[in-house]
Amino acid sequence: MLEVNFFHICDNVILEQGTGKFSIIGVFQNINAQSFPAMHPSMNIIVGLENKNAGLYDVELVFLDEVSEILKVTSKVNIGVNGKGIWVHKLLGYTIPREATQKIKLNYEGKTIYTGYLTINNK
């Protein structure tokens, strides 16, 4: 079973070639918008995962609010021989339909393995 060690929404992620080190820039949990629908130009999701078995695993990232599903992304995560993996997904032009607290779920094999929240304010 995949386990989540960390999950961050941020402005940018820098992955260093060779060492595998990463820098997380501008972690946030809130977006302010003056009107809706709004467009957030760019954000990154970075997730640290682990599993006792190395391999390629299918995951699904879902953003939803109390009205509807807003975004669904499917991807593959590589877990190395050390049992750990990093998954980074860049969202460009994220459309925000309304003011709400969005639930963010990371699913694996039809089960939610992480739940987080992104608050959208009208300011």
pLDDT tens for each residue of 49-86: 999 999 999 999 999 999 999 999 999 999 999 999 99
CATH topology for the 3-122 domain? Immunoglobulin-like (2.60.40)
Measured from the Cβ of residue 87, the count of other Cβ atoms closer than 10 Å reads 21
pLDDT for position 74: 97
What are 88-121's pLDDT values in tens digits? 999 999 999 999 999 999 999 999 999 999 999 9
User: What's the pTM?
Assistant: 0.92
pLDDT at 123 over 90: no
Amino acid at 54: A
> For residues 14 and 112, what is the distance between their CA atoms, to the nearest angstrom?
27
